[in-house]
Amino acid sequence: MSKIVKLVGKTLNGLSYIAPKYASQKALDLFSTPRKGRVNEHQVSFLESATKAIIKYNHLDVATYVWKGTNKKILLAHGWESNTFRWNTLIEDLKKDNHTIIALDAPAHGNTSGKYFNAILYAECINEVVKKHQPDIIIGHSVGGMATGFYQYKFQNKNIEKLVLLGAPSEFTGVFKRYVDMLGYNERIENGLNHLVEERFNQKPEHFSLANFSKDIETKALLIHDEDDKIIPYEDAKLIAKNYKNATLISTKGSGHGLKSEAINKHITTFINEA
């Protein structure tokens, strides 16, 4: 895989000397296109246990799943190259407390349509699901946590009682930089990527900072991050926690980026159920 990655990087680097904007656009397309995360055969039966529905947003058919209860309404937002199935054990634990669980598949993931993904679009999809289902709590993993924070910063929904952000990246620039380094892109492509983001969203990449946004989020939050996370650095969690005045950070060891364990589920359910 690493040889293929390096080959792609070298190819686009070479192309950047002939057609720099085209090379940068191809690099951005690659960054925004998940290679996996669609529903596979062994996930179907669990997802079939939910009430499924499609919510239309612009050109997207956003797949949603509901497990009905009588207690709190909890919305789940998965991360990159994943889908709603990643929550299966947490959903079972939440069902024990008779919560209503709502989940969505991100753009270009699971059963949601689309080819491209970004956290800003994901936050807009979360907004559509919130408008329909009016959850009390939102839980997001990885870039789903980032998108959850982006959502609450932008829409300032006072009806959201709590947020749970699991392994969430803080800085979009950090996510971008790790991608640039992984592919070995040259400065032409790196600069071109930054320009394309600014063109598309009317903001420089550094604007999209969950740490900075969290200064303006009052919603009570639980942050969980593994100290040895190899995907999103633990420093991101510390940066968010430093700026997020109403957040508590729980650090784990050995749970990696996935953050799937009985202990973590217990932290989440305890936080949800406490007054």
Q: Which amino acid is at 3?
A: K
Which band of pLDDT confidence, cut at 50, 70 and 90, is reported for residue 243? very high
* H/E segment holding residue 166: strand 162-166
Measuring CA to CA, which residue among 61, 82, 64, 81 is closest to residue 73? 64
1 pLDDT higher than 70: no
User: For residue 6, what pLDDT is reported?
Assistant: 77
* H/E segment holding residue 6: helix 2-15
Bridge partners (DSSP) listed for residue 80: none
Which runs of consecutive H residues, i.e. helices, occur in 52-118? 88-96
Which band of pLDDT confidence, cut at 50, 70 and 90, is reported for residue 201? very high
Give residue-wise pLDDT tens across range 3-61. 777 788 899 999 999 999 999 999 999 999 999 999 999 999 999 999 999 999 999 99
Which band of pLDDT confidence, cut at 50, 70 and 90, is reported for residue 136? very high
| Cβ atoms of 102 and 135 closer than 8 Å | yes
What is the distance between the alpha carbons of residues 125 and 129, in angstroms, rounded to a whole number? Answer: 6
* H/E segment holding residue 247: strand 247-252
What is the distance between the alpha carbons of residues 268 and 184, in angstroms, rounded to a whole number? Answer: 38
* H/E segment holding residue 264: helix 262-273
User: For residue 262, what pLDDT is reported?
Assistant: 96
Supply angle C-alpha 84, 173, 237, rounded to 5: 60
User: For residue 275, what pLDDT is reported?
Assistant: 77
Give residue-wise pLDDT tens across range 171-193. 999 999 999 999 999 999 999 99
Q: How many CB atoms lie within 10 A of CB 136?
A: 16
What does the pLDDT average to over 104-127?
Answer: 97
Q: What percent of the chain has pLDDT over 90?
A: 96
Q: What percent of the chain has pLDDT over 70?
A: 99
What does the pLDDT average to over 236-264?
Answer: 97
* H/E segment holding residue 136: none
Q: What pTM, to 2 d.p., does this model score?
A: 0.95
> Which one is the CATH code of 39-170+209-273: 1.10.1270.20, 3.40.50.720, 3.30.300.30, 3.40.50.1820?
3.40.50.1820
| Cβ atoms of 13 and 186 closer than 8 Å | yes
Structure tokens at 105: 């598949």
Residue ranges covered by each domain of the chain: 1-32+172-208, 39-170+209-273
